[in-house]
Amino acid sequence: MTITRETRRVFRERKPFAEYLAGTGGRPPAVDFEVRQLLLVSPGPRSSTGYSVEVSGVRERGGVLTVTVRERSPELGEQVEPRVTFPYRLLSLPAGRDVYVDWRGR
């Protein structure tokens, strides 16, 4: 999937999700949006294969899901390929709850 900008987006219905994916080259997974919602998080394009998005936790409090996310950067001396990559995470979460993304940076 090619996600060209920083993204933190919740999808609660199939149509908006399919429309978004059409512009990224991705294929939608099978999701029952009656009971699930999707959260897409991405830092946007990066300059090498050493970047990734890590989810360190999901917790619920008062009907709000807080998803803690951190971008992993390559370490000095790590073997990476110099090419544009598009790291992301797509999470399936219980429907009917508000979602807050706690982005911890790199």
Half-sphere exposure of 24 (CA within 13 A, CB side): 22
Total count of domains within the chain: 1
pLDDT over 90 for what percent of the chain? 91
Rg, Å, the chain Cα set: 15
Does some domain include residue 91?
yes
Does some domain include residue 13?
yes
Does some domain include residue 24?
yes
Does some domain include residue 54?
yes
Q: What is the residue whose two structure tokens read 């993204």?
A: 7
Does some domain include residue 1?
no
Q: Output the average pLDDT for the chain.
A: 95
Does some domain include residue 2?
no
pTM across the whole model: 0.92
pLDDT (tens digit per residue) in 48-85: 999 999 999 999 999 999 999 999 999 999 999 999 99
What is the per-residue pLDDT for 26?
Answer: 86
Rounded CA-CA distance 68/80 in Å is 26
Does some domain include residue 27?
yes
Question: For residue 105, is pLDDT > 90?
Answer: no
64 lies in which domain range? 7-103
What is the per-residue pLDDT for 28?
Answer: 86
Does some domain include residue 50?
yes
Provide the pLDDT confidence category of residue 19 given band limits of 50, 70 and 90.
very high
